[in-house]
Amino acid sequence: MFFWKAIKTAFNWSSVPFSLYLAFGFFLSQLLNIQVYKAKGATSLQTWFMAAGILNYQPSVKLVKFLCLIMAVFIFFLCQFLIPKIRLFSGERMLTTGILISVIFCIISQLIFSSVMRLSYEFSFCLIVFTGLIVYQVFIQPVQGELGQNLRVYQELWDLLKILIPICIGFPILMSGGGFIAYFYMREQEFLRVQLYRHIAMALYFEIGAALFLLLPILRKILYMRGNL
């Protein structure tokens, strides 16, 4: 009986889009980072332990890829377990829990191999997922009330949409823009070009998540309420 409940939790379909997005986002971020250095001829990758002089060991590219795949699977199933429980929290508790989980995921990712730029990408994917859960819990899920209450919620949704659109458009630029990349690699033009391609891919992935989990759900709710006011 317990095993069957665990299986049902692991394949909770309402949580699958969030879990898949986050798991694949981490894996894609890590994989593209590996490919950048592999294209440069690297056969191993630096860790923060190596950079700090704590441990004189650099894992091979093959080992790192395997660890990243294991982490993606771990994130998927952990999210499948946690998200149904997080949905029951209040908005404030969802925020603090989401930030804590995001920090833990990003730390684990950085322990596999180091990358400051990758940290910004992966944390932004976490923000998309947990902000999407908060938006659904606080603004979209509540049942219909009186006309005055519905009008207030309708206006709040419009205000939220107007705030999120410029943030979602501008955030990929802020999280790791071309100038930030060029600062580190200004003498390596070919390496800079590959890094910029990676940044474009990560920015597009961020925008896909923002559209699926934030903007479209809010817009659908606005249109639904518009037809019922």
* pLDDT band at residue 102 under the 50/70/90 scheme: very high
pLDDT value, residue 176: 55
Q: How far apart are the C-alpha atoms of 196 and 214, rounded to whole Å? A: 26
**Res 98 pLDDT > 70:** yes
**Res 31 pLDDT > 80:** yes
Q: What's the token pair of residue 47?
A: 């860790």
CA Rg value for the chain:
20
Average pLDDT score over the chain: 83
Q: What's the token pair of residue 113?
A: 């191999």
* % of residues, the chain, pLDDT over 70: 83
**3-class DSSP string for 64-117:** HHHHHHHHHHHHHHHHHHHHHHHCCCCHHHHHHHHHHHHHHHHHHHHHHCCCHH
**Backbone CA torsion sign across 133, 84, 76, 10:** negative
The 10 Å CB-count burial string (b at 16+, else e) for 55-64 is eeebbebeeb
Q: Which residues contact 176 (CB under 8 A, 6 or more apart)?
A: 117, 120, 121, 199, 202
* pLDDT band at residue 171 under the 50/70/90 scheme: confident
More confident residue, 57 or 134: 134
Q: pTM for this one? A: 0.86
* pLDDT band at residue 27 under the 50/70/90 scheme: very high
Q: Which residues contact 43 (CB under 8 A, 6 or more apart)?
A: 60, 61
